[in-house]
Chain A
Amino acid sequence: MDLNILWFILITILYAGFFFLEGFDFGVGILLTSLTRKDVERRAIINTIGPHWDGNEVWLIVAGGATFAAFPHWYATMFSGFYLGFFLLLFALIIRGVAFEFRSKSESPKWRYGWDRAISISSFLAAFLLGVVFTNLVRGVPIDANMQYTGTFFNLLNPISLLGGVTVVLLFCFHGANFLSLKLTEGLRAKAHTNAKMYFTAALVFALGLFAALFFTKSAFSSKGLVTLILPVLAAAAMIVSRVMMGKKHEGWAFICSSLAVVFTVGALFLALFPNVMISSTNAAYHLTIYNASSSPYTLKVMSIVAAIMVPVVLIYQIWTYTVFKKRVKADAKGLTY
């Protein structure tokens, strides 16, 4: 296996890790305002992800940085081509990040209510945009012989990518509700159960619709054939098992299975792409591949060494933080960190 393939796999892992981790905290963010109107309950919900969301978001930053370092042309073409999409994503991430920090810094209900709404809307927008971006990646976008995107912002907003956006939102809501059922107590826990079941149906229907649409129209899925459907089928199976486990009140298993569903979904997208990193809908000869878009072997080697040492270390201490906060969060004013 050459280093280009290794880095494609590593970037897949980074995005899968990001979708898995930030996926549930985006989901929790979206659900925040719809689950309850009580301040102390909202604080409990935020505290389930409070210690983790920032570390989770770094997965995106590292995935972006790794794309830049390992496949500079991919990074350059995608980020300049999807300019306004990424601008909106940044906008959402900015609002979301400060909202978590600022929402409890005043006692005014208006202030808190406003920031809570900001958390929900920005989490929704970020999840939606990520869905749009990744759906467009596998559908292909107009790219010329010089690796330049030749479409406009509105090329990105086609029906299938919008479907992809909604699917990711629903999937994250499902995943987030599973996480909450694992982390909350009493009434909120029951609400999380109900939401997990509700979003399960919606997410499954939309996900099946999305993969069907990708398979029956021009995309990386349809051009490769049936083999690309293995992971989507596994993702759907994981979702179903998750739902069954939730029905049996095995919250841990339900969450593990929804995590697998998210990881399989991201895996499906990247496997369909491989060995391309961006698909040109203009001409197959203009695809960006793991070879023509990559850095030099020397850079890939250096980066491989760093990743081989650092990724396990990061995993160990991130897992440790989840063990520190493994207890359920009670919606009880005295025990909550504000």
Chain B
Amino acid sequence: MDIVVLSRWQFALTTIYHFFFVPLTLGLGWFVAILETMYVKKGNPMYKRLTKYWGRLFLINYAMGVVTGIVMEFQFGMNWSEYSRFVGDVFGAPLAIEGLLAFFLESTFLGVWIFGWEKISKKLHAAVMWLVAIGGNLSAYWILVANGFMQNPVGYEIVNGRAQMIRIGALLGNPRAILLFLHTFFSGLVTAAFFILGFSIYHLVRNHETEAFKKSFYLSALIGLIATAGVIDIGHLQGIYLRQVQPMAAAASEAHYETADPAAFHLIAGIDQTGRKTTWSITIPKALSMLYFFRPYGEVEGINQIQARYEELYGPGNYIPNVPIAFWTFRVMVGVGFLMAAVMLGALIIALKKFPEKIIKGSGWLVWIILLPYIANTTGWILTETGRQPWVVTGLMQTKDAVSPILTPGTVLISLIGFVLIYGVLMAIDLYLLLKFAKKGLINVEVDSIPIAAVEPTKKHGGK
């Protein structure tokens, strides 16, 4: 295998892994802040216990997000040095600003939040959690400004073969970045809402602390329904904008090989990548035009026509991303998205009907809904990043030219295997801890902390 393939695998695995933790951090921060604010306003200790319960799960998840995030920043230089040289002028700035403006805020105040319960006033403590949530979501904005430039480069000019920033405003207002951010912001809320809903069901089924978990259930269903609607809505706008600025990625996500007006929508299809056509499909006539233009006609350019156009524009080459990946990840993401909206609607109805005993009793298996947002988040990013290929920066630089030329396959293999091993082990530990504390239930406010080790390690290896 060559260094491009290995580096891509490493980047893909470390990014996907990182993004298992990020959305929950983004969304759960808001919920914890809301619960703590309710505690400050109402003085009801139940809210404090809920704040601590969800807050602890937030922290276990947060730690993983942070340590896997540093890997992302270093990897651009380590594996993609030519990319870094080419875009550092434009791409480095949002990354640096992210640290200064957002990540400092989030991590500094999180330290205060964890250790500051008795040291600062209740109100200030709640305000600190709001700063943490704001910091995290601001981080997402800056990272997506950087990613938005890779998707839809704006505000730059090419000088001596390097992209140079000429308008920061264009970069910050890049519609591709704004839409990515809003989509991510809502997916964070959705992820957290399902997380809370799932574990609330777990406890309600077992009759634990029903008052508190009904509150959690209701709050997550309410916010979750709004957020799933937001995700779907912004997602659609993203699709429309994608067709304008990355028509190839859009066409690939629909396996739309030939230009048509009106264009039909493939619900599912068989894809022949070498023959560059669909072999069979279940199709809704005119629906693709409808989705893009809100009317039953309108030309949608096909993969083969775009390929021909790009060959003229950029020279000979294959400008088609992996169509089955784009097509199927898109369908899974959208399908799960609608399923999530339905679940949230059902949950809200159950909450408004005062949790009928019969329904709650039989819904233990619904804990699994926690996984739904993870499926949608992951497929969504796979679509976004593979749909852009062969480009690392759309129209400006191809992925194969972005890699660090001095690397050897052996070196990258070492780090790839290293990351897979450590990430595998940490995932197991993280899941173990999340489940342990999620199942354990609410924290007793008086005995505020996790019990101190009953036995102190005295022997050489500390064990029993």
Interface residues of chain A, those whose CB is within 8 Å of chain B, are 37-40, 43, 47, 50-55, 57-58, 60-62, 64-66, 68-73, 75-81, 83-84, 86-87, 89-91, 93-95, 97-98, 100-102, 104-105, 107-110, 112-114, 147-150, 153, 295-296, 298-299, 302-303, 306-307, 310-311, 314, 317-318, 321, 324-325, 333, 336-338
Contact = CB atoms under 8 A, between A and B. Distances in A.
Given A40-B456, A98-B63, A104 B414 contact: no
A65 B418 contact: no
A316 B179 CA distance: 33
B74 A69 contact: no
B407 A80 contact: yes
Given A87-B418, A112-B462, A324 B96 contact: no
B463 to A, nearest CB: 4
B455 A55 contact: no
B415 A87 contact: yes
B232 interface: no
A58 B453 contact: no
A80 B81 contact: yes
A65 B98 contact: yes
Contact of A302 (B81, B168, B422): B168
Contacts of B96: 62, 65-66, 68-70, 303, 306
Interface string B76-100: 1111011011011111110111111
B449 A337 contact: yes
Contacts of A108: 453
Contact of A55 (B67, B104, B120): B104
A102 to B, nearest CB: 7
Interface of B: 59-60, 62-64, 66-68, 70-71, 73-74, 76-79, 81-82, 84-85, 87-93, 95-101, 103-105, 107-112, 114-117, 119-120, 159, 164-166, 168, 404-407, 411, 414-415, 418, 422, 426, 429-430, 433, 436-437, 448-458, 461-464
A52 B111 contact: yes
A325 B119 contact: yes
A95 B117 CA distance: 27
A295 B433 contact: no
A125 to B, nearest CB: 13
Given A50-B115, A324-B120, A109 B108 contact: no
A105 B433 contact: yes
B108 A321 contact: yes
A150 B98 CA distance: 32
18 contacts: A39-B456, A47-B115, A69-B96, A79-B78, A83-B78, A89-B74, A90-B70, A90-B71, A93-B67, A94-B68, A110-B463, A113-B461, A295-B92, A299-B90, A310-B97, A310-B100, A314-B104, A324-B120
A75 to B, nearest CB: 5
Contacts of B87: 72
B418 A76 contact: no
B159 A102 contact: no
Contact of B452 (A53, A65, A71, A333): A333
Nearest to B60: A101
Given A68-B96, A147-B85, A324-B119, 14 more contacts: A39-B453, A61-B99, A61-B103, A62-B104, A68-B76, A72-B85, A76-B81, A86-B74, A90-B70, A94-B67, A299-B93, A311-B100, A321-B112, A337-B449
Contacts of A38: 456
A76 B115 contact: no
Contacts of B99: 58, 61-62, 65-66
Contact of A61 (B63, B70, B116, B464): B70
B108 A75 contact: no
Contacts of B436: 105
A168 to B, nearest CB: 19
Nearest to A337: B115
A79 B85 CA distance: 12
Most buried by A among B87, B104, B114, B165: B104
A75 B451 CA distance: 45
Interface of B is mostly: helix
Contacts of B451: 107
Contacts of A51: 111-112, 114-116
Contacts of A310: 97, 100-101
A203 B58 CA distance: 40
A52 B110 CA distance: 9
Contacts of B70: 57, 60-61, 90, 93-94
Given A51-B114, A51-B116, A76-B84, A109 B456 contact: yes
B452 A40 contact: yes
B206 to A, nearest CB: 22
A76 B429 CA distance: 34
A315 B450 CA distance: 32
A65 to B, nearest CB: 4
B422 A91 contact: yes
A112 B450 contact: no
Contact of B406 (A81, A324, A338): A81
A62 B164 CA distance: 21
Contacts of A83: 78, 404, 407, 411, 415
Contact of A72 (B78, B88, B117, B455): B88
Contact of A299 (B89, B426, B429): B89
A107 B454 contact: yes
4 smallest beta-carbon distances between A and B, as pairs: A72-B88, A79-B77, A69-B92, A113-B462
B165 A107 contact: no
A90 B415 CA distance: 10
B426 A75 contact: no
A80 B80 CA distance: 8
B456 A317 contact: no
A290 to B, nearest CB: 14
Contacts of B455: 109
Given A102-B433, A321-B111, A336-B449, A109 B97 contact: no
Given A80-B81, A90-B70, A310-B100, A65 B95 contact: yes
B89 A296 contact: yes
A50 B111 contact: yes
Contacts of A80: 77-79, 81, 404, 406-407
A316 B60 CA distance: 28
Contacts of A338: 449-450, 452
Contacts of A76: 77, 81-82, 84-85, 88, 404
Nearest to A303: B93
A105 B450 contact: yes
Nearest to B93: A69
Given A40-B452, A58-B108, A105-B60, A68 B92 contact: yes
A167 B198 CA distance: 51
A30 to B, nearest CB: 18
Nearest to B463: A110
A228 to B, nearest CB: 27
A57 B114 CA distance: 17
A110 B90 CA distance: 48
